[in-house]
A and B are shown apart, each in its own frame.
Chain A
Amino acid sequence: MAVADVIRLLCTNPVYRNRVVHVEISEPEPPRFGTLAVPLDDTLESYLDQHRIRLYSHQCEAINRIRTGKNVILTTSTASGKTLAFNIPVFEKLKSDPEARALYLYPTKALSNDQLFTLVQMAQFTGISARPAIYDGDTPQSKRAAIRENSRVIISNPHELHQVLSWHAKWRPFFSNLRLIVIDEAHRYRGVFGSHIALLLRRLVRLCHFYGSSPQFILSTATLANPLEFAGKLTGQPFELVDDDGSPHGRKHFILYNPFYDGIGERSTYQETKDLLVSCVKDNLQVLCFTGSRKMAELVTLWAREDARRISARLAESISAYRAGYLPEERRLIERQLKEGTMKGVVSTNALELGIDIGSLDAVIIAGYPGTMMSTRQQAGRAGRKGGESLAILVAMANPLDQYFMNHPHHFFSCSHEHAIIDTGNPYIVSGHLLCAAAELPLHDDRDQEYFGESFYEILPELESSDLLRKTSRGWVYSGRGRAADAVRLDGIPGSTFRILCHGRLLETMDRAQAYREAHKGAIMLHQGEMYVVNEMDLETHTVRVTETDVDYYTQPLKKVDLTIIETSETRMINGVRCFFGDVEVTEQYTGYKIKRKDTIIGVELLVLPPLTFRTKAFWFIPAPDTEQRIEHLQLDLAGGLHGAEHAIIGLMPLHVMCDRWDIGGLSSPAFGENCEPMVFVYDGYEGGIGLAEKAYELLPALFSSAHELVRDCRCDEGCPSCIYSPKCGNDNQPLDKEAAVLILRDLCTFTEKSECPVLSGESGQAFL
């Protein structure tokens, strides 16, 4: 077998051998089949026969549970036949209830199209009148009415749904008979976006209740640490979990490959990726390679072709890039060549995660941890889909998270620690959806609070006093000037948005915080893999003007952070260390930016921008006096230790709570507040908070110990980008003290007798700065 040959090469070749830090083998699993509590009717049975499908155990379990009317979430692997597991009960419902309708929500166009194709086929074969159709921004006006009236399965996306709800009167036949809502790829609805979707779904359910229906939910997601909690928060309803995967797979080899095994890393992650790619292709494996950006995909392809050309032109021809921007014909060609076997190596951005089927491959190479375990699993799942032996390789970057995995493989291969976060309590997000809801049907004090949570009664009078709502005898009526749904962006927190223009053309919009950070004057910014330089930022008109550029340097903003504790809502002791959770007010002031080439600073420029102030959620802790004394005694730097601990904790947040590094911020101080105590803060980078710090506060012991392991086990002496250096540090990574950081983190994780210290007097509900 060619896979075995490549593995032997990697484990014996002197260049590769040292870099292979771990090989995980999962043994082949035969399929497990299941039985249905009640057999399928003949049409569906023969549909399965025709396609030679026998239902796996998890599919049967899902169907059985969905049939009882329960909300079900499915979390089995990518190729386990989740779609069939919910399409079958949907079609059963359509058949048994001639009025029944179903709604499918998909995050992307490509996935919607795939599902439409499947549903049309199923409807044709079974003769069940589903009349499936896509209803989205591209649906022509002339076809919309007919789809609303006649289609019993409508496929749409959250953005369209958001626009459509205020026209509910036209959707009456659909909403009043809506029995099932299928949300595929639901894990994408997390963080700020997910919190918006959760409230959007509350609005949908409220309208369904108004029209007398209460639809059942079916969710499908990738593996999460908290599927039931997630599903409950997303939809507001209780769920049952189906996660015992009955689908078969072949022998899988997963290799952790560390170019920085020696703490130096003489070749870059991408160079190493190219070498691996060429080795695989030479050994006649079909391989798919994932890179973080479009530009890197192109570069790796270029380099790999150059190498391969030394062997043969044909080999060079068999390597190609593949990305979202390609024309459909170009993509079809590559897909066809892959199926025919003439194409050997394809390099892609993560866009390929989105359902486009290119069949099964022998190997997958992932250049850099893609940010979540979930994406990693999905990408690796591209190898060996048909049950043969397969190989996946993760090539590490130098950053803390990648290096943590390289040094602690068991964490990488154990069950998921990632919690997908949804926060339906952010008043900024809730208020937007209250405006939309009030424009859909008058909001009722007694009836509607259940959909929108605790802040309902507080927010409504606020919106009234700003003339956006009026209280009437029928409830709260929307009376704002703009259309509510147009004012609410599903991916942001309200506030002023900046428009990024290139030659007068709108590239994208950013909220203020992001614009200050990434699109200040002089910044080099990336948009869809292309490089731009910011020529002008107009604070009056909220406009940023950029032009294309191609430079070999990048910019990094410098900022000052000030923080005030508004209210401490919870406290806990962890190994004798006082930890807190509560509301804080953060002021971030961007003061300048550095211009860097590789790691060398080639210039520093000043920036004059107004401070950004927002209230958010944070957790914080105060290291024990013992720790402080020991650091002093050893003549280490307390400030540098706290700062390093802060960076390490933030660096490993994504291991436990799914988020992007920009979603969280931090502050450390050796003498904070009037008691001048050493403190470390970690806060949500969004007005009102989005539940990240809140979840992390629950998981603090695990978070602390992973941060401790990260820094302790790093081979560097004084700290490096793999442990306590942060690329986003607004303080230019000053000061940092690795030894002190290890001490602080160790004391967070190990219980030692620490001298008692009194809990602060002003903690309950009172600011003490």
Chain B
Amino acid sequence: MSATHAPARIGALWQQRMETMREYEVVRDGNVFGSSFSNNVVFSSDYEKAHNQLDALVEKYRNVPFDTVFSGTEVFNERGVCYCLKCRQSIKIPLFDLDRFRSDIMGDLTLVHGIGPGKEAWLRAKGYRTLQDLMQHPKFRSYTHDVLTCLYDGNSAEIMNLIGCRHAKSHPYVLGTAGLHEPENYVFLDIETLGLFSRPVILFGVGMIEDGYLAVHQYLLRDIDEEQAALMATIDHMSGDRPALVTFNGKSFDLPYLSDRLAYYGMGPPTKIPHFDVLHFSRRRWKNFFPSLRLAALETEILGIHRKDDIPGQMVPEFYETYLRTENCGPLVPIIEHNKQDVVSLALLFFHLLGESYGCR
């Protein structure tokens, strides 16, 4: 029958409700238990600092036009337009010792179905030292044949899959398959979002190796309307020649999030490409060394990087919302910086781990 007119306070009512829903918890400083227990905590000093910083930024950038702060370019594609910021920085890429990796793999009899560590030791004692040797074994010949076919003819994804099925997904051999790619194939990805699920991605950071440098392309949403174009531009990077994706926690966060947003706009999922999740390899390597395995913690411990004026990743939504609401571009500055540093540290950490395992000595 008659619909009540939507009262003016309906929006305010929901907004109030949303205000009370924070997806992180503020814990008192030094609460290491709290911080290692969950990814979604912010120390109260960081929280305070970030809020002061936000106020300062809004003040500093009042009435400052967007174009004078950022010098990006517009990118056009079939989904519209978005804004891209580019920068470059030098990076040391370790030389990959392919021979050592090959000999490790060839000597790994457990890659063959039916052979565990015990059986492997027994076979070795009998003189079967490599997969080639196993081709002489009456019982394991046919399985070994399959393995060798994959190793000789398969692409890195198939080889990674083969190793990943017989070992933990974070095994150094799995990481080693990254060496089957040229450095130019790596796509380093890190996204900033408006929340944990089902909300827009507001910044896509993509790193690539170009002429021995690390080039970072950041697709920034000047408005939510630009998300589709930015999504498209980002997945374009993943469809080049033999691309390999490198992320930090991307298997559980960045990649499903991208698929979700693509589906939201009725676009298909990104093509499946080899994916190296540095979090998994880091966890295996440093689990008992450091209390926290978050990217920001590792970059300090391993790479000696100390961020200045960084904001906690969990607080990115508040900063971006302030930008959307006020059109003051100040709050974007630390978001972009934070994301850029995430991509750079991700690349450095990845090469560090790869170098440790298979760098030329």
Interface residues of A (CB under 8 A from B): 166-169, 172, 210, 425-428, 431-432, 435, 439-442, 453-455, 458-459, 462-468, 470-474, 477-487, 494-496, 569-570, 583, 615, 617, 688-689, 694
Evaluate contact between A481 and B318: CB separation under 8 angstroms: yes
Residues on A with C-beta less than 8 A from B265 are 442, 474
B7 part of interface (Cβ distance < 8 Å) = yes
A172-B263, A467-B15, A470-B324 are known contacts; what are 20 more A-B pairs with Cβ within 8 Å? A425-B1, A427-B4, A427-B10, A431-B10, A453-B3, A463-B11, A467-B324, A470-B223, A477-B225, A479-B199, A479-B324, A480-B15, A481-B19, A482-B17, A482-B21, A483-B198, A485-B198, A487-B14, A569-B2, A615-B7
- Offer 11 A-B interface pairs, CB within 8 angstroms, sorted by A: A169-B260, A442-B264, A467-B325, A468-B14, A468-B15, A472-B227, A477-B225, A478-B199, A481-B194, A481-B195, A485-B198
> A462 and B263 in contact (CB under 8 A), knowing A496-B16, A694-B1?
no
Residues on B with C-beta less than 8 A from A168 are 263
B77 part of interface (Cβ distance < 8 Å) = no
B8 part of interface (Cβ distance < 8 Å) = yes
Contact of B225 among A439, A453, A472, A483 (CB under 8 A): A472
Residues on A with C-beta less than 8 A from B223 are 470, 472
CA distance A398 to B11 in the complex (A): 45
Contact of A478 among B8, B10, B198, B324 (CB under 8 A): B198
> A473 and B197 in contact (CB under 8 A), knowing A458-B6, A483-B21, A688-B4?
no
* Highest count of chain A CB atoms <10 Å: which of B8, B197, B318: B197
Evaluate contact between B3 and A470: CB separation under 8 angstroms: no
* Highest count of chain B CB atoms <10 Å: which of A471, A483, A496, A570: A483
Evaluate contact between B225 and A459: CB separation under 8 angstroms: no
Evaluate contact between A480 and B14: CB separation under 8 angstroms: yes
Evaluate contact between A481 and B18: CB separation under 8 angstroms: yes
CA distance A477 to B7 in the complex (A): 21
CA distance A162 to B225 in the complex (A): 26
> A462 and B198 in contact (CB under 8 A), knowing A481-B21, A482-B17?
no
Q: Which residue of B lies closest to A457 (CB)?
A: B6
CA distance A454 to B2 in the complex (A): 9
- Nearest CB in chain B: distance from A495 CB, A: 6
B35 part of interface (Cβ distance < 8 Å) = no
CA distance A428 to B4 in the complex (A): 10
> A169 and B21 in contact (CB under 8 A), knowing A427-B7, A478-B198, A483-B197?
no
CA distance A697 to B265 in the complex (A): 44
Q: Which residue of A lies closest to B261 (CB)?
A: A169
Evaluate contact between A454 and B10: CB separation under 8 angstroms: no
Residues on A with C-beta less than 8 A from B225 are 470-473, 477
B291 part of interface (Cβ distance < 8 Å) = no
B321 part of interface (Cβ distance < 8 Å) = yes
- Nearest CB in chain A: distance from B141 CB, A: 35
> A482 and B8 in contact (CB under 8 A), knowing A167-B260, A496-B16?
no
- Nearest CB in chain B: distance from A169 CB, A: 3
- Nearest CB in chain B: distance from A487 CB, A: 5
Q: Which residue of A lies closest to B264 (CB)?
A: A441
Number of A-B contacts (CB under 8 A): 149
CA distance A732 to B144 in the complex (A): 89
B205 part of interface (Cβ distance < 8 Å) = no
CA distance A470 to B320 in the complex (A): 14
Residues on B with C-beta less than 8 A from A454 are 3
CA distance A440 to B260 in the complex (A): 10
CA distance A30 to B19 in the complex (A): 62
Residues on B with C-beta less than 8 A from A462 are 6, 8, 10-11
CA distance A466 to B264 in the complex (A): 22
B224 part of interface (Cβ distance < 8 Å) = yes
Evaluate contact between A615 and B4: CB separation under 8 angstroms: yes
CA distance A483 to B40 in the complex (A): 15
Residues on A with C-beta less than 8 A from B198 are 166-167, 439-440, 478, 483-485
- Nearest CB in chain B: distance from A38 CB, A: 39
CA distance A323 to B197 in the complex (A): 39
Evaluate contact between A431 and B19: CB separation under 8 angstroms: no
Evaluate contact between B199 and A494: CB separation under 8 angstroms: no
Evaluate contact between A425 and B194: CB separation under 8 angstroms: no
Evaluate contact between B260 and A432: CB separation under 8 angstroms: no
CA distance A480 to B7 in the complex (A): 19
CA distance A455 to B10 in the complex (A): 12
B250 part of interface (Cβ distance < 8 Å) = no
Residues on B with C-beta less than 8 A from A459 are 6, 10
Residues on B with C-beta less than 8 A from A435 are 14
Q: Which residue of A lies closest to B317 (CB)?
A: A481
B125 part of interface (Cβ distance < 8 Å) = no
CA distance A474 to B16 in the complex (A): 27
Residues on B with C-beta less than 8 A from A480 are 14-15, 18, 199
Q: Which residue of A lies closest to B228 (CB)?
A: A474
CA distance A696 to B86 in the complex (A): 65
Evaluate contact between A426 and B199: CB separation under 8 angstroms: no
Chain B 247-267 against A: per-residue CB contact (8 Å), 1 yes, 0 no? 000000000000110111110
Q: Which residue of B lies closest to A489 (CB)?
A: B17
- Nearest CB in chain B: distance from A481 CB, A: 5
- Nearest CB in chain A: distance from B235 CB, A: 15
Contact of A427 among B6, B16, B195 (CB under 8 A): B6
Evaluate contact between A427 and B3: CB separation under 8 angstroms: yes
Q: Which residue of A lies closest to B17 (CB)?
A: A487
Evaluate contact between B10 and A487: CB separation under 8 angstroms: no
Evaluate contact between B227 and A468: CB separation under 8 angstroms: no
- Could you tell me which residues of chain B, from 185 to 234, have a CB within 8 Å of some CB in chain A? 194-200, 223-225, 227-228
CA distance A615 to B228 in the complex (A): 40
Residues on B with C-beta less than 8 A from A468 are 11, 14-15, 18
Evaluate contact between A439 and B199: CB separation under 8 angstroms: yes
Residues on A with C-beta less than 8 A from B65 are none
- Nearest CB in chain B: distance from A79 CB, A: 37
B23 part of interface (Cβ distance < 8 Å) = yes
CA distance A482 to B10 in the complex (A): 16
Residues on B with C-beta less than 8 A from A471 are 225
- Could you tell me which residues of chain B, from 10 to 32, have a CB within 8 Å of some CB in chain A? 10-23
* Highest count of chain A CB atoms <10 Å: which of B4, B6, B10, B227: B4
B116 part of interface (Cβ distance < 8 Å) = no
Evaluate contact between B224 and A470: CB separation under 8 angstroms: yes
> A472 and B21 in contact (CB under 8 A), knowing A169-B259, A169-B260, A688-B4?
no
Kindly list the 7 A-B residue pairs having the minimum CB-CB distance in the complex, ordered from nearest: A466-B11, A482-B21, A169-B263, A472-B225, A470-B224, A166-B198, A458-B6
- Could you tell me which residues of chain B, from 257 to 280, have a CB within 8 Å of some CB in chain A? 259-260, 262-266, 269
B154 part of interface (Cβ distance < 8 Å) = no
Residues on A with C-beta less than 8 A from B194 are 479, 481
* Highest count of chain A CB atoms <10 Å: which of B1, B5, B265: B1
* Highest count of chain B CB atoms <10 Å: which of A442, A453, A694: A442
* Highest count of chain A CB atoms <10 Å: which of B16, B224, B260: B224
Chain B 238-251 against A: per-residue CB contact (8 Å), 1 yes, 0 no? 00000000000000
Residues on B with C-beta less than 8 A from A694 are 1
Residues on B with C-beta less than 8 A from A615 are 4, 7
Residues on A with C-beta less than 8 A from B2 are 425, 569-570
Residues on A with C-beta less than 8 A from B19 are 481
Q: Which residue of B lies closest to A695 (CB)?
A: B1
Evaluate contact between B80 and A473: CB separation under 8 angstroms: yes
Residues on B with C-beta less than 8 A from A440 are 198, 264
- Nearest CB in chain A: distance from B256 CB, A: 9
Residues on B with C-beta less than 8 A from A486 are 21
- Nearest CB in chain B: distance from A366 CB, A: 36
CA distance A169 to B7 in the complex (A): 34
Evaluate contact between B195 and A431: CB separation under 8 angstroms: no
Residues on B with C-beta less than 8 A from A166 are 197-198
Q: Which residue of B lies closest to A688 (CB)?
A: B4
Residues on B with C-beta less than 8 A from A495 are 13
- Nearest CB in chain B: distance from A320 CB, A: 45
CA distance A726 to B49 in the complex (A): 56
CA distance A135 to B198 in the complex (A): 20
Q: Which residue of A lies closest to B5 (CB)?
A: A458
